[in-house]
Amino acid sequence: MGVVLAVAARDGHGLGKTTRSSIMLVAGEGVEGDAHRGVTVKHRSRVAKDPSQPNLRQVHLIHAELFDELVSRGFSVKAGELGENILTHGIDLLALPTGSLLLFPSGAKLEITGLRNPCHQINGHTPGLMDALLDKADDGSLIRKGGVMAIVLISGLVSLNDTITLILPTEPWIALKPV
């Protein structure tokens, strides 16, 4: 089990989102009142390539443990500032397989679709922050630490301090890739 430490949304595009006491997840669309809500892609870079793509980036989640790591490296980041809709604690989001389900007390259900690919806007928060969200594995491959993306399967409210129940998909698992 995990817990929700913060929730956030923003009507317009830009890096940060405003924290709230709760957000409404809308099935097949995303977060009510958020610029990235929609059946098709809403992230500007994705829209420029093909606006008819399905929106696999309806909800952005980051694990609070990343913030602890960033603080240890000299960065100061608060909830919502990296564009996340849900800040979690207690679930290793980056280690989840594609198709993992997150359930909330309201009945809301998310399906993890992939990794967030950090964009250069993050350096607008603090120079060097984007590099801190990327790492190299022993084999030289890129490790993206900027959270995960999800789609909303069942609508419902997600609030501060909600518990999160994790349901893993049937094996064999498929590792997360950027979406």
| Domains of the chain as residue ranges with CATH | 2-167 (2.40.33.20)
The secondary element (H helix, E strand) that includes residue 165 is strand 163-167
- The whole-model pTM stands at 0.95
Give me the chain's average pLDDT, please: 95
Contact indicator for 167, 103 with CB cutoff of 8 Å: yes
Question: Tens digits of per-residue pLDDT, 118-174?
Answer: 777 888 789 899 999 999 999 999 999 999 999 999 999 999 999 999 999 999 999
Structure tokens at 69: 């790591």
Share of the chain above pLDDT 90, in %: 85
Structure tokens at 112: 């993890």
